[in-house]
Amino acid sequence: MKKLMVIILLIGAASYATAQNQSSSYPVYSGKDLGLTYSPTAATFKIWAPTATAAKLNLYKSDMGGNAIRSINLSKGENGVWYITVTENLKNSYYTFQVHIGNAWSEEVVDPYAKACGTNGLRAQVIDLKETNPIGWAGDKSPNFSSANKQTDAIIYELHVRDASIHTSSGIKNKGKYLGLAEVGTKNSAGLTTGLSHIKELGVTHVHLLPFYDYNSVDETKSEVQYNWGYDPVNYNIPEGSYSTNPADGKVRIKELKELIKTMHSNGLRIIMDVVYNHTALTKNANFNILVPDYYYRKRADGSFSDASSCGNETASDNAMFQKFMIESVVYWVNEYHIDGFRFDLMGIHDIETMNLISDTLRKIKPSIVLYGEGWTSSSSPLPDEKRALKRNAAQLNGIAVFSDDMRDGIKGSVFNINDRGFATGQIENSESVKFGIVAAGKHPQINYSKVNYSKEPYTASPAGLINYADCHDNNILWDKIELSFKDASVAERTKMHELAYAIVLTAQGASFLHAGTEFLRTKNGVENSFDKGDIVNSINWDLKTQNNASYTFIKSLIQIRRAHPAFRMQTAQQIAAHLNFEKNLPTGIIAYTINGAAVGDRWKEIWVAYNGKQTPQTISLPKGTWKVGLSSKGSSKSANNYTLAGSSAVILYGE
């Protein structure tokens, strides 16, 4: 989601502590059975609403409109739980709850623990989850991936479900749907692969899908004409309906999403879910807040909702029952949907303890899980900085990586200043920020931290703690950023800069991350924040793959090299400090380094990497040895003991 600014909060901590003491007076329910427990002979409903004096269940025939068939009072259980068991087969009926708080009944709400719902998530649905499994689901298996804590092996491809297929050039039938992304063998007009087959061909390890839990902003009855990224959660444990072929029947979206996941898995791809537990789309009328007013959110001293998300509220992961909700939610997605990783939006809003509990819990279930998040907030939070999962606290996170904005902006210039340039666009003063990214924001004897753009000290404990990237869904896509900040440059020059940017990302230590389509110079026509700007801006034009095939081939080759060579995916900061050595006495605008491949088990015994941030060619002398070319930008050449790097170019040499 959009990062507006990072503010260090000093005031308000004392009053927040008072509010927390009040929250701790709520009972905590530790059972794992909140929500619906279904069988053909009985359905048990449990909600947590400790401040309610009564609660009732409303049963409906349809997902929208009409009156309730029945309303049934719930019984009061322990620790704030209300429950009822209905001893009949309620399969396929829809339901809501109401709670009586103060002197009034609340409006109807969907239980946050619900697992299925009808159109627009207005009513939950009783379903038999077993009926949502596509053929072959029992045999669905995630492709092999490194064992625990080797996140550096991940090459992540960030994609929006609808963007992948909606453009006419996709050759995909089920446009905009889960099933569209599940189509294989699809092609553009030139016969080049599109959609899932393209991603497989590109060679990434993980597909990170922008939010696909049930979100608020697209009316599921009008999904042909509406668009949103989906960073506005309603039902966390239910897939979004607008990507399904029938949002009214809760089983359909579940089955179609599982079909997509199964197809990804069988094509060697793992799936990462973008999750937004940091805020809810609605505030006062959010499901959480109706059931237990104020409990799930942080408040300011004056009683108003604090808003570190800049979306109207921020959740309180430091409150026991929201921490429990987050943990059970991610576990549910892994167990029921076979999800392989999570990207936590505005992770800096969540407390460190909760994030580490999530990591520890998930790694017990799936040791190869990939976890990362945004180590910042959008505005200030009342929870003290030292407790939150901010980038500067990254070393305290167990196996959860943070995005490197230092590297991102070091490569291309600040995302907040349209004219600003980075190392790849000729602003060679950003070299140290790029070097900091190359060593995965860890401790390295050759980094001058005082010259790094944002962080003045290392913040990761290991390279597994960092995601290196040049662009993502937020802010201008790389191609547009280059164009907007360097209007004088020709298309050919900008293409070289773009390729250099990705050469840096894909050779750097830490995990790599690409925004979908950027491998063939995708553009959003200069639109900076396209979250609701529709298909015209956001859709992936697959004909660009034909037009910019040389860039695509270059980036694909970088991915192949990265996957084949552990030297680019070292596992400890100590290895990087010992075996990655920056060359000294270089012309300005050159970053060059050697990696002792032999020391980290690479068949390339010695590796030499260089980037030329200047637009003019530069010649540098090579270290002693016999060098072969692993990959080189166009126009660069080797002669005897020298290497001439074309302007805005990269090269990888190796000795065997």
Name the residues that contact Ca ion, by CB under 5 A.
214, 241
- Of the two residues 119 and 278, which places its CB atom closer to Ca ion in the complex? 119
Whether 374 is catalytic: yes
- Of the two residues 223 and 518, which places its CB atom closer to Ca ion in the complex? 223
- Of the two residues 110 and 159, which places its CB atom closer to Ca ion in the complex? 110
- Of the two residues 241 and 647, which places its CB atom closer to Ca ion in the complex? 241
Rounded CA-CA distance 231/211 in Å is 6
Min dist CB 481 to Ca ion, Å, is 31
Rounded CA-CA distance 175/162 in Å is 7
Min dist CB 200 to Ca ion, Å, is 29
Most distant CA atoms of the chain, gap in Å: 87
Min dist CB 216 to Ca ion, Å, is 6
- Of the two residues 241 and 517, which places its CB atom closer to Ca ion in the complex? 241
Min dist CB 411 to Ca ion, Å, is 35
Q: Which of 153, 259, 340, 374 is catalytic?
A: 374
Phi, psi of 514 (to 5 degrees): -125, 145
Rounded CA-CA distance 343/369 in Å is 11
Rounded CA-CA distance 314/299 in Å is 8
Q: DSSP letter at 252? A: H
Rounded CA-CA distance 515/522 in Å is 9
Six-digit token string for 223: 């999904």
List the one residue out of 501, 504, 611, 610 whose CA is nearest residue 562: 504
Give SS3 for 302: coil
- Of the two residues 281 and 415, which places its CB atom closer to Ca ion in the complex? 281
Min dist CB 215 to Ca ion, Å, is 5
Query: Element (H or E) spanning 596, and its range?
Result: strand 590-596
Beta bridge partners of 46: 35, 83
- Of the two residues 214 and 583, which places its CB atom closer to Ca ion in the complex? 214
Q: Which residue has the tokens 């990586």?
A: 401
> What interhelical angle do 431-438 and 491-507 show, nearest 10?
40
- Of the two residues 20 and 221, which places its CB atom closer to Ca ion in the complex? 221
Q: What value does the CA radius of gyration of the chain take, rounded to a whole number of Å? A: 25
CA 604, 515, 244, 168 dihedral sign is negative
Six-digit token string for 569: 């995916």
Q: Which of 183, 345, 406, 480 is catalytic?
A: 345
Sheet holding 618-621, edge to edge: 618-621, 642-645, 637-639
CB 427 within 8 A of CB 500: no
Rounded CA-CA distance 635/652 in Å is 14
Six-digit token string for 373: 């998040």
Beta bridge partners of 214: 235
Min dist CB 121 to Ca ion, Å, is 5
Burial class (CB in 10 A: 0-12, 13-18, 19+), 624: exposed
Which residues touch 266 (CB under 8 Å, ≥6 apart)? 140
List the one residue out of 116, 133, 117 whose CA is nearest residue 259: 133
Min dist CB 119 to Ca ion, Å, is 8
Min dist CB 279 to Ca ion, Å, is 16
Which residue is nearest to Ca ion, using beta carbons?
214
Min dist CB 599 to Ca ion, Å, is 51
- Of the two residues 120 and 404, which places its CB atom closer to Ca ion in the complex? 120
Question: What residues are labeled active site?
Answer: 345, 374
